[in-house]
Amino acid sequence: MLKDLFTKNNTKKRKYATIPTETIKSDVPEGIMTKCPSCKKIMYTKELNKNLKVCIHCGHHFQMNSRERLESFLDEGSFEEINENMISKNPLNFPDYLEKLEKDREKSKLNEAVVTGIGTVNGHKIVVAIMDATFRMGSMGSVVGEKITLAIEKADELSVPFIIFTASGGARMQEGALSLMQMAKTSVALKRFSDNGGLIISMMTHPTTGGVSASFASLGDYNFAEPEALIGFAGRRVIEQSIREELPEDFQTAEFLLKHGQLDAIISRLDLVNQITNILEIHQPGGELEW
Ligand SMILES: [Zn+2]
């Protein structure tokens, strides 16, 4: 049964034609300029991208896909992807699931909602897993869980830190209980890695919700988040209806969670490489620190 959960994608990567976006109506010229959803100011997209997709006026963090994240975080040319060809099957025969996966593969140019591999940050070797919200909203099915587990085991094998960037709508409903199982599986893998002395850093990005927030995203030795990231288990309305109380305005934001002790720090993307490098240096076996 377990072997039926996923398979390898043996089809060659195809190239897709781009469709002109003339039909999109916007008050901002498409592509050249970007409007910040937070401060409403307009800036050159090029300038925004150069600033790691952080608004140059107000510091708002735009969402990044896994490729952009890799480029901004790892040393150039250091990334070596692992298990990239693993793709989901349809173990519960959920209607239209395979078609939806195929569409997301075309759109995102990814095989699944997480990219895993080995790379370096300022010369420090790490294993990294980066979730991508452009694929099925970053939801966690059996392949996402398996790839993350294999990445943790790879970090254990190499005795290097494991860093995960989360962005997820939670467990993937099309795989039902098999998706929920991934919470336990990834948590056990992290516990084993931790018992062997492994360092785990979780970086929660917008949005990190559902079963992902309730498992590996919150199990780091360090639990960090990007500014204003939405982090939570159930949605605001569901909670308000069940406890019959109005929730605070900033509920389920990174800032709220930091105030209440669920996060260790909020780190701006512009400062991330420096901060993570410091932590990697502190935890380097036999490393020397100058005070
Ligand atoms: Zn802004």
Per-residue pLDDT tens, the chain, 291 aa: give them.
566 677 777 655 555 555 444 444 455 666 899 999 999 999 999 999 999 999 999 999 999 999 999 999 999 999 999 999 999 999 999 999 999 999 999 999 999 999 999 999 999 999 999 999 999 999 999 999 999 999 999 999 999 999 999 999 999 999 999 999 999 999 999 999 999 999 999 999 999 999 999 999 999 999 999 999 999 999 889 999 999 999 998 999 999 999 999 999 999 999 999 999 999 999 987 756 555
Cα(143)–Cα(105) distance, integer angstroms: 14
Helix, strand, coil percentages (3-state) for the chain, rounded to 5, are 35, 20, 40
The alpha carbon of 30 and the centre of ligand 1 are apart by a number of angstroms equal to: 18
What residues have CB less than 8 Å from 4, skipping those under 6 apart? 89, 91
Strand partners, 42: 35
Strand-pair category, 42-44 with 80-82: unpaired
Contact 61, 53 (CB under 8 A): yes
Give me the residues near ligand 1 (ion), CB cutoff below 5 Å: 36, 38-39, 55, 57-58, 60
* pTM of this prediction exceeds 0.95: no
Query: Which two structure tokens, joined as six digits, stand for 105?
Result: 């593969």
The 8-class DSSP code of residue 28 comes to S
Q: How large is the angle between the packed helices 272-282 and 66-73, nearest 10 degrees? A: 60
The alpha carbon of 55 and the centre of ligand 1 are apart by a number of angstroms equal to: 5
* Residue 280, H or E segment: helix 272-282
Contact 23, 106 (CB under 8 A): no
The alpha carbon of 239 and the centre of ligand 1 are apart by a number of angstroms equal to: 30
The alpha carbon of 204 and the centre of ligand 1 are apart by a number of angstroms equal to: 20
CB atoms within 10 A of CB 286: 4
* Residue 43, H or E segment: strand 42-44
The alpha carbon of 62 and the centre of ligand 1 are apart by a number of angstroms equal to: 9
Residue whose token pair is 């467990």: 171
Query: Which two structure tokens, joined as six digits, stand for 76?
Result: 């150039």
> Torsion-angle region of residue 223: left (phi > 0), alpha (psi -120 to 50) or beta?
beta
Contact 250, 96 (CB under 8 A): no
